[in-house]
Amino acid sequence: MSTEDDADVPRPVRRRGAFVLATAAGLSLLAMLGGGAGAASVPQLTQPVQVTKGDVDPGRTYTSPSIAVDPENPLNVVMGFVEARTRRCGLMRSADGGTTWKRLDASPSTATFPFCFVISGNVDMIPVAFGRNHTLYYALSGYDDGDGGVNNGNVSVLLGRSDDLGDSWKTTVVRSARGKQPPDTETSRPVSDLAVDTHSGKEDVVYVTWRAEYRTTTAPNLQPRLPQVSVSTDGGKTFADPVNVAAPAWANAATRADALKTTTTLPGSPTTTAPPAGSRAAQPDQPVNFGGSNPSLTVDDKGNLYVAWVTHSSNITPAPVPAIWLSTSTDHGKTYTASAVTAFQQGMSTFGTQRLRWSPQGGPSGTLHLVYEGTANPTIANATDAYYQRSTDGGKTWSPGKALNDDDPKGLAYQNSPNLAIAPDGRVDVVWWDARNDPGVRSHDVYYSSSSDAGMTWSKNMRLTTQLVDRRIGIWGNGFDVSVPPGIASTNKFAVVGWDDTRNGTQLTQTQDLFTTDVQYANVGGGTSKAAKVALAAVGAVGVVGLVLLLVSTINRRRA
């Protein structure tokens, strides 16, 4: 029986209303998936892709990759990798935003410098970056067996340039260490970052940075690690001599004094004998005892260069605790000024896990974004967090350190080796290794957080890995100590994240593969996540229901 109001409404109109509701529901679901003009407020994850599936050798051992997106075609994504077993570098390429990958035959390594893998701890990335006109740059270490090995031998720095997305390479020696004899043996490891200035000059200005070690020097006259930067103003064809960007900081007596104040001897520490007169150790307060490690660099739209590095010292017992510093150049790397980012503090990595990037949003000078491995509990081992700081005045002042991981601090989980990327629209994407789902520190997940307001606020953490990465397998700490941050590159619609994964390995094979996932803010081709596929199926079902109702409505109208 119908109500009086129902009787007044013609049946075809009621069917049409149902169709409109069904269509509206479908459009709503599409909007949630980011399929419309606006980006989704909550990103969707694609299913993890095993990038190294084509390598069937059970002993394959890949370290975490470096990723770059072609700014002129964001679906072109490249990945620089190291295969530790063969000590070789290479490139993976995707033409569909990371859904599928192809390993290329060509490599930027040369016949005279065939090997690039170095055992360096913490950051052993193989940085890749795009310049103008799809030009791809690839920075890497280089040596052969005659150079003395990666621990105490001569390791050089190379730069590969490709005009065809990695199908072929032209390689330049940035810094040759070949032929040096002790104590001048120079081990350039790792090549930690690469930046390309596409605004200054007729050709790309290319910056390469690395940590120089002089491991054949001995106490009490050890040479500290040095953060080195070399620049090319002709698109990577030639490079100037490297510059130690830490030198301006340690030339200041007040900076050395601040560092030396932190060298307090702990109760019960053994007494040491006086160092030989005239040695570096006998005079700790001098610039030659101080350096830095694992620099990361970025350039702004005016061509200013910024380099973040962690302090290091030699011949001082006990050693000063570390701090992160920033060196700035306004003349394409010829001269630098230096200023502190953090105070000297316990609990910070002495190798350096800092990663630095610049975005034009946030202030008149844009924003410098810095992530690193830090802690609020320096006396508790492995209780570290993924820290973030920002500067909107070119590095003069910095925001207080903020932990981006949102797990319960009482859990004392191990978060380490963060990495970041900036999308063209200013979104800041950060990823890191996270042990919150493992009561120890022998397994990791990759976690993600983002900011759409230049680092003021951050999204809830999102787990990207679908299962824990077992660090009892592979080379993370099993005699190699190669702990590399997850790779990341960002576009407005998605971020591509890559990591080393041991799910296919055993204690016998020690297999370590590369996996990627897309964090999608808008649907990008295939490879959508399970949740996205379910939602898309729901959209299709709703659409079918709407069409059926429309058909019934039409038939009823004709009968009437």
Helix (H, G, I), strand (E, B) or coil at 328: strand
Q: How far apart are CA 510 and CA 487, in angstroms?
A: 21
Alpha-carbon dihedral 381, 385, 386, 388, rounded to 10 degrees: -120
Q: Kindly state the tokens that stand for 373.
A: 């491995």
Is 84 contained in some domain? yes
Is 19 contained in some domain? no
Sign of CA dihedral 151, 153, 154, 158: negative
User: Model's pTM, two decimal places?
Assistant: 0.86
DSSP state of 529: -
Residue ranges making up the domain that contains 230? 48-264+284-494
Is 202 contained in some domain? yes
Kindly indicate the confidence band of residue 124, based on its pLDDT and cuts at 50, 70 and 90: low
**For the segment 284-340, what is each residue's pLDDT rounded down to a tens digit?**
999 999 999 999 999 999 999 999 999 999 999 999 999 999 999 999 999 999 999
Q: Kindly state the tokens that stand for 259.
A: 């560092």
Helix pair angle (530-559, 11-32), 10° resolution: 160
pLDDT at 141: 94
pLDDT at 273: 82
The DSSP element (H or E) to which 540 belongs, if any, is helix 530-559
What's the per-residue H, E or C state across 64-121? Answer: CCEEEECCCCCCCEEEEEEECCCCEEEEEEECCCCCCCEECCCCCCCCCCCECCCCCC
pLDDT at 35: 37
Q: Is the pLDDT of residue 278 over 50?
A: yes
Average pLDDT, the chain: 86
pLDDT at 189: 84
Is 100 contained in some domain? yes
Smallest CA-to-CA distance from 18 within 559, 560, 556, 558 is with 556
Q: How far apart are CA 155 and CA 550, in angstroms?
A: 72
Is 153 contained in some domain? yes
- The contacts of residue 149 (CB under 8 Å, 6+ apart) are none
Is 59 contained in some domain? yes
**For the segment 514-555, what is each residue's pLDDT rounded down to a tens digit?**
999 999 999 875 444 444 444 444 444 444 444 444 444 544
The answer to whether the beta carbons of residues 59 and 542 sit under 8 Å apart is no
Percent of the chain with pLDDT over 70: 83
Q: Is the pLDDT of residue 503 over 60?
A: yes
Kindly indicate the confidence band of residue 482, based on its pLDDT and cuts at 50, 70 and 90: confident
Residue with tokens 């649907």: 523
pLDDT at 42: 84
Lowest average pLDDT, out of 205-214, 265-274, 400-409, goes to: 265-274
Is 138 contained in some domain? yes
β-strand 428-434 against 415-422: which pairing, if any?
antiparallel
Is 377 contained in some domain? yes
Q: How far apart are CA 247 and CA 307, in angstroms?
A: 13
pLDDT, mean of residues 112-139: 87
Smallest CA-to-CA distance from 402 within 456, 454, 350 is with 456
Q: How far apart are CA 100 and CA 83, in angstroms?
A: 20
Q: How far apart are CA 320 and CA 214, in angstroms?
A: 20
Number of domains in the chain: 1
Kindly indicate the confidence band of residue 479, based on its pLDDT and cuts at 50, 70 and 90: low
pLDDT, mean of residues 113-130: 81
- The contacts of residue 272 (CB under 8 Å, 6+ apart) are 317
Q: Which long-range contacts (CB under 8 A, 24 or more apart) does 10-18 make?
A: 11/556, 12/553, 12/556, 12/557, 12/560, 15/549, 15/550, 15/552, 15/553, 15/556, 16/549, 16/550, 16/553, 18/546, 18/549
CATH number at residue 321: 2.120.10.10
How many C-beta atoms lie closer than 10 Å to residue 170's C-beta?
A: 12
